[in-house]
Amino acid sequence: MEKKFKFNWGAGAILAVFILLFFVLMGRFFYIAYTKNIENVDLVAYAEKKWTRYQTLDANRGTIYDHRGQPLAEDIPSYTLYAVLDKKFQHIKDPEKTAEQLAPILDREPDEIEETLSKPKRFEVQVPGGRQLSHSKKEKIDKLKIDGLEFKEETKRYYPNQTFAPFVLGYTNETGQNEITGALGLEKTLDKYLKETNGSLSFKSDTKGVKLPDPKEKVKKPKNGSNVYLTLDEKIQLVLEQAMTKADKKYNPEKIIGIVADPKTGKILAMSNRPAFNPNKRDIKDFTNRAISDPYEPGSTMKIFTLAAAIEEGVYNGNETYKSGQYKIPHNRPISDHNKVGWGTITFNEGVQNSSNVLFSKLAREKLGYDRLLNYLKKFGLDKPTGIDLPNEKSGRILYNYEIEKLTTAFGQGTTVTPIQQIQAATAIANGGKMMKPFVIDKVVDPATKKVLLQHKPEVVGNPISAETAKEERDILETVVTKGTGKPYQIKGYSIAGKTGTAQVVDKETGQYAHGWGQNIFSFMGMAPKDDPKLLVYVAVDRPHLKPTELGSYPVADIFTTVMKNSLQYMNIEPKEEKKEKKTVSDSSVKINDYTNKAASAAESELKSSGMKPVTLGSGSEVVSQQPAAGERLLPGERVILRTDGNVQMPDLTGWSLSDVLKFSKMMDLDASVKGTGYAVSQSLKKGSIVKEKDYLTVDFQKPEMPSVNLSDEEESGTSQ
């Protein structure tokens, strides 16, 4: 019997489903093969990425050098420390012990490190304090031989001299992907030259990273940043930094500014401020480069330019005499000299030596005239920025509306200027009348092609005075240092020409000038050697904390003499043997003789005949010591203290100047304290009492009641001007 075929609907359905799935899959396959795309994923690109390996080829940011080729800012290798926590690999086995070993190297607390090393479900973590480690720290960590620690090599910006011209160099920030960008100073303004461009390498490999037989390598070469060469001299800058740091620690002033320039070219050899910062640590309290961005009343350094104008116009006669003390002008209170009473009738040259406000008021009003003076101030560039190649330069303002403002501008008050404006103007005095534009960037060089991309050269920006005027003024300014207010700035073997300044500071709270001991900006502008200056140095110290027996010139002189002497010697400018001084200007000062072992009565008579005021201490008949010492020069009317044997009775100090009180305290070895300014009005030791060594003496000073304008910038009685 023939068997009848029976269709199995269940098997048919299953077969139909498989046939349908086959055609769907085949359709999908042909679709993908044709479009080379799946779910918006480009399969060709995906395969390319899957089999291609990429490596970054690091480039270096350009190096900043001093003018002799010493690196001041450079890229160096650095290391970031990671810890592997996944137990499938070599990992940190004892987080507590590891943290204790790493803490002193990374300068972190062990608990902080241990907490990071104990994080669960983490393959790898960056160790706290482990970024941008130096090679020496890496070696210390390597010696610990701790399993699970790994290093990633990077680069970091490094400043080898630490706190060194930080406001000039600036610093950099890391913006991610180990990319460095300038953030301050030349690092920022020259970023387009210094910035590097990393390269790359790509090749085909298997899943394990092994190159295929035909890896198809593609190389994009890295491009290093260009190198910058500055005019700064590393040695001179280091001397300036060290001297400023020493003064900063000793006197704790509000600020210090120092600039060293080559007056022949305008090159800035050193520049710094306090407060400062270490760009490696970024301990920044103030972002202002006060050498170029802080206009203030300069004080008597401004007299340099008033004097130059008078000499150039032929209205200055150094031997001409005038009555010092006060200068009366219509409808205004008189202007007075810094000691209120002046020095009697003296010559113009003596007025310069004593920094007499009366003299410079007279020069401005009677000799030059206000219009001519203003014209010269503009010729010296004191009305506009210098254009120095540093960021954020500001300009001061010449205050010249009313007659009193015109007079005070002549001796440095009311009008404001920046230190760099004064440096530029003073190059004309030091450089035969040619005023040089200051600059710090010498050149920018491409390290690959050696092509010079940017170069600055010396530029004469004006001829405000003649060479003859410049020479005459340097001769006069030398006597300021040898005979006048600039005595603390003398350097044995070197001829220094310069001018002191003691500017008043406006109190921000009251809007009035600050008063009190040391509440001034003390400064000095000096050049050497006088006949052919190779260096021009400006130093300003703002409101140092002075002891009652210390003068404002102390911190300024400490910095100036250290920097000038060391820099001249470094430049192989040998000191000259001292010769008998040639009189180039009139001088009425008196050289003090040696009176020790001589009869006190005879010494008194001789001093009185010389115009001095002798003060004899003790009951003996012969002089055993004296103040000041033999050889020093004083102006007529100053006190000379003679000591004889026997007990010393306390003199009446009323009317004495600070310098006289200091002479007395030094001679008697007293622990002296002074209050106020001006002249002595009271004393703690009673007149006629027996004075003993180490006695404590307090003297109150008070300014004389005078209806005068004392807009002087000078220290009171016995301080530097």
Active site residues: 300
Q: How far apart are CA 334 and CA 404, in angstroms?
A: 10
Handedness of CA 532, 561, 68, 191 (dihedral sign): negative
Neighbouring residues of 343: CB distance < 8 A, sequence distance ≥ 6: 324, 325, 337, 350, 354, 356, 635, 636, 637
Q: Is 96:141 a contact under the CB 8 Å cutoff?
A: no
Q: How far apart are CA 375 and CA 47, in angstroms?
A: 77
Question: Which three-class secondary structure state does DSSP give residue 382?
Answer: coil
Handedness of CA 99, 100, 105, 107 (dihedral sign): positive
Cα end-to-end distance, the chain, whole Å:
142
Strands (E), 492-555: 497-504, 520-528, 535-542
Handedness of CA 501, 506, 512, 518 (dihedral sign): negative
In 10 A of CB 311, how many CB atoms? Answer: 22
Q: How far apart are CA 514 and CA 542, in angstroms?
A: 12
Q: Is 543:251 a contact under the CB 8 Å cutoff?
A: no
Query: For the chain, what's the residue count?
Result: 721
Nearest to 309 by CA among 433, 396, 399, 418: 433
Torsion of CA 705, 709, 710, 713, to 10 degrees: 170
Structure tokens belonging to residue 435: 């005023």
In 10 A of CB 202, how many CB atoms? Answer: 16
HSE-CB for 143 with a 13 A CA cutoff: 8
Structure tokens belonging to residue 116: 């990071």
Q: Is 559:541 a contact under the CB 8 Å cutoff?
A: yes
Q: How far apart are CA 684 and CA 704, in angstroms?
A: 20
In 10 A of CB 42, how many CB atoms? Answer: 13
Nearest to 650 by CA among 611, 596, 688, 706: 688
Give bridge partners of residue 220 from the DSSP assignment.
200
Structure tokens belonging to residue 183: 């953030």
Structure tokens belonging to residue 392: 């954020």
> One-letter amino acid identity for 720?
S
Question: Which three-class secondary structure state does DSSP give residue 160?
Answer: coil
Residue listed under structure tokens 């004469």: 460
Q: How far apart are CA 308 and CA 316, in angstroms?
A: 9
